[in-house]
Structure 1
């Protein structure tokens, strides 16, 4: 699952950002496949563009920090509803907490906006003071500033007034419906708003912290918020988001959890059936909870119209487009999501993975370099950047150097890079290095994307590389036992059938291997799933190759190289899995078709 892959990559990002302080040196790579562009030009800065930076919390009680964040977020959310404005997403702006290093001009340049809104919030008892100032970041001119001293119950009116003043200052067109949304108070209960603001922060940070704890804590806070105010629409929106995330990430993948998300969705539809958030929450729910792509797409189309600056509405569209093989649409949606949320490294990584599937390596590099400016110490980004030379030019040196540097910097990082490390060792025919990588491999670390190869499969590949046929057979037999149980429990699990077919091919079980590989492709064709579908075709080619069916292997391989997928020039040149085809002129022609031009 690509969404699961997104979760794993962000968790890996956290590990990297906390542990390492030196970016590995990798040689620049500028070559690309035909049709790829050399770089991605930055979007022009629009006059009516703005970033709402985190407001400083001046309250004595530090627990009011969530209240200050909530004030900033509500102003941002109000502005984001205006289609005539470009408003940067909260994920990117929250990286610029108040501090001496906060340079407005530099921040605006990094976020691609012309204007910045700064402010502060001070709450004392039943009173609240909000200061806000609008700055033209190109000239450092202060265009507007105002201070509000009011009862804390009036804070929502302050938020609406500030948003309205900004719209007027930027001379943005605003429709009656957009104006009505800005003026609508999220709740009349300040305590419920505090709970909501805290929970929203937990939801958005959950992937970068203790995922389970944060999501469940968000649910607890939101349940309390809607108990205080049963008509608190945005609290139900965050509640649906938390329940769906808990379900989708596998922390509680039960019908009961899905029913809780269903209940929150029904509350949204009851309170405000036409709101953009209702359509976005339903789209997320249909995708994560039911894999219902078409209905999710319909809901996203409505959400994008109502929430033109919401990066998530375009991000989920990109996921669905990619899974359905609409690569150009997917890329466009990823790029648009990144424009709205330019400091979100996870979006950039997903965009880079799309370019990598399309073999647009120069674009992959350009996006990864952007991501590395956001998260320069991220392990996943560093290794992915280095492996482009391997995929595009069959040059293993940059990845070899990068992995060696990462493991030297911190040996505890070995499990994070073990998958790339082992694959590299196989490419380099270095059995000793492969054994070291396997020793560091976490459970399920031998998976190839969604193909669930057990670690014993990797053990067998290493033994085979070492020339120990008995050890290889023993390991493959263990792998077969694991996969056979998986398929017995889930007979229509295409990826497991594929892995079982590959293992059977390695064991010489020709008829079983071919039957399993073909069944996997039938269960999940490219027309149904462009990501896993192309991967299954690649492995069907490998099954045919390992069972002596060269003609069939080359037929499937020719299909695979004409599809967007991870199959690359470097893999065909170096991976031992293709050794049975080496020396055949037809195979060499296929390899040459992916060679750098």
Structure 2
């Protein structure tokens, strides 16, 4: 089978009159593994990682299991080790397992890949991904990508990774340019189209451009549920209009209920909260399954009792809210004890304490979370951290601090939008305050790339 693939690739290159370097010719001739079963396990894992837009915990753990089986069958399976490192890094980066043990597993996979092919572009690309996701070492990651580009000059993955790193640095123009280049090289990459290029434009509140890029994804996959919901979410974000999002989610649930899983639930719960529909919000929680709760579109994860507390708080059921937040606190405290320097986990504890009226603890935890992951370190998650500090301040009655923090987020690219400020119950304690209402109006304005 692999010989046939190599022959096809060589024939295509000849027909295109493409001049291949010796390294490229070797790459075409090299079979990834001699074990067909190992290759099947690898392919299944790779498809899971490629098609999971939300980076779900269960899917990623399944991919890890498949890849471990693949390398057990063939310990020289280089590509499988690269994918295994990626999967471990994803579990760490997205907060599912932000522990030193997970980092060690990623490092072991990287070391195995490096022993097999130390000079391969894919090895440097995997190391770059690891430095970015596991350590936040953006300069080191970019240096590895630059080395990878020497042997992978027209590989979309190098431009994609550069763009993702650069937006963490707050270099939005360079990031957008590299992500657009990645799409030029691989037009069918839905994740880069939506979460990369369109994602950048949405964070810049340039929704017309975000919609143009998002619409391109529908050309390739017209029935892609995530793409449809993403496009509808742009109307919510830019116009505070829940109707397109509500209708799109209803349509997906009616026509393809299996598609209304965690990827869609992220947006469903936001829509339900914006419409003050407690029943729909609880239905969205069910759709998350065993996955942590994510109030889209950011990577912060919350436990289910916290979300239940938010719903009860919205409906002014103080007793149920306190009970839910108390349960949430017991769960979250364990995570913080295991990961004391993980900003998002501490931020979630601060929100829970704010819901319980523990003002001093909540503000201390929220401020510490911002210190652990400042905007200067991570332009995206750092901004979300400041946003949630503003929520904490609002919930404990410190309107001055809430408006101060909100102003700092509104004046930089972030996922905080007009729709979220206008409609979500998180901000109810600030409604009617002239400073807050002014910030809501300011959130309509787009950013220029600079």
TM-score over 0.5 for the pair: yes
Question: Do structure 1's residue 241 and structure 2's residue 177 form an aligned pair?
Answer: no
- Does 2:225 align with 1:379? yes
In 2 relative to 1, CA 344–186 (structure 1 residues): closer, same or farther, beyond 3 Å? closer
Whose strand proportion is higher, 1 or 2? 1
1:397-416 superposed Cα distances (whole Å, 9 cap, x missing partner): 10010111111123444433
Partner of 1:341: 186
2:173 to 328, 346, 353: 328
**Preserved CA contact (<8 Å) 1:581 1:587:** yes
Gap change, CA 1:185 and 1:473, over 3 Å in 2: closer
**Aligned 8 A contact 2:64 2:84 in 1:** no
Q: CA-to-partner distance for each residue in 1:197-226, whole Å, 9 max, x for gaps?
A: 878755643435863464345435653xx4
| Cα deviations by residue, 1:492-542 (Å, 9 ceiling, x for unpaired) | 121111111111112111111110000000010011111110001001111
Q: Distance in 1 between matches of 2:63 and 2:413?
A: 32
* From 380, 396, 418, the counterpart of 1:547: 396
Distance 1:523 1:377, change over 3 A: same
**Structure-1 separation of matches of 2:266 and 2:33:** 47
CA–CA distance in 1 between the matches of 2:33 and 2:304?
Answer: 51
Q: 2:125 aligns with which of 271, 280, 287?
A: 280
Deviation (angstroms), 1:427: 0.7
Aligned residues of 1:361 and 1:392 also touching (Cα < 8 A): yes
Cα distance in 1 for residues equivalent to 2:148 and 2:340 = 37
Q: Is the alpha carbon distance of 1:373 and 1:218 closer, same or farther for their aligned partners in structure 2, counting shifts above 3 Å? A: farther
- Separation (CA, whole Å) in 2 of partners of 1:508 and 1:532: 25
In 2: Cα distance, 1:390 partner to 1:587 partner: 19
User: What is the deviation of 1:246?
Assistant: 4.0
Aligned-pair CA distance for 1:344: 1.6
Per the alignment, residue 148 of structure 2 pairs with 303
How far apart, CA to CA, are the structure 2 residues paired with 1:571 and 1:190? 47
Question: What do the CA deviations read for 1:58-87 (whole angstroms, capped 9, x no partner)?
Answer: xxxxxx3x44233334x3xxxxxxxxxxxx
Is 1:420 equivalent to 2:267 in the alignment? yes
Does residue 1:167 correspond to 2:12, yes or no?
Answer: no
- Structure 2, unpaired ranges of 5+: 52-61, 92-96
1:181 maps to what in 2? 23
> In 1, are the aligned partners of 2:343 and 2:368 still within 8 Å (CA)?
yes
Which of 413, 421, 437 is the matching residue for 2:284? 437
Report the Cα distance in structure 1 between the residues aligned to 2:122 and 2:310, rounded to whole angstroms: 49
Larger radius of gyration: 1
CA distance in 1 between partners of 2:30 and 2:282 (Å): 62
For residues 249 and 67 of structure 1, do their structure 2 counterparts lie closer, same or farther at Cα, with a shift above 3 Å needed?
farther
Q: Does 1:563 find its partner at 2:412?
A: yes
Q: Could you tell me how far apart the structure 1 residues matched to 2:226 and 2:236 are?
A: 15
Identify the range of structure 1 (310-319 vs 288-297) with the bigger mean alpha-carbon deviation.
288-297
The 3-state SS of whatever aligns with 1:530 is coil
Uncovered stretches (5+) of structure 1, i.e. residues with no partner: 1-63, 76-131, 134-161, 169-173, 227-234
Aligned to 1:456: 305
Aligned counterpart for 1:473 among listed residues 322, 334, 341? 322
What is the CA RMSD across the aligned residues, in angstroms?
2.9
**1:16-31 residue pairs with structure 2 within 5 A?**
none
SS at match of 1:253: helix
Query: Which is further off, 191-200 or 417-426?
Result: 191-200
Please give the alpha-carbon distance, in whole angstroms, between the structure 2 residues aligned to 1:595 and 1:291. Answer: 31
1:302/1:408 Cα in 2 relative to 1: closer, same or farther (>3 Å)? same
Contact 2:127-2:141 at 8 Å conserved across structures: yes
Aligned to 2:248: 402
Provide the rounded CA distance (Å) in 2 between the counterparts of 1:353 and 1:537.
Answer: 20
Q: Is the 8 A contact 1:456 1:478 kept in 2?
A: yes
Change (3 A) 1:187 1:470: same
Structure whose residues are more often helix by fraction: 2
Q: Tell me the TM-score normalized by structure 2.
A: 0.85
2:59 corresponds to which residue? none
Structure with more relative contact order (C-alpha pairs < 8 Å, separation 6 or more): 1
2:6–2:29 CA contact under 8 A, matched in 1: no
Distance 1:299 1:578, change over 3 A: same
Deviations 1:383-423 (A, max 9, x none): 11111111000011100101111111234444333332222
| Cα distance in 2 for residues equivalent to 1:327 and 1:293 | 14
**Structure 1 pair 479/187, CA: closer, same or farther in 2 (3 Å)?**
same
Inter-partner Cα distance in structure 2 for 1:402 and 1:188 = 46
Is the 1:265–1:281 contact (alpha carbons within 8 Å) kept by the matching residues of 2?
Answer: no
The number of residues matched between the two structures is 424
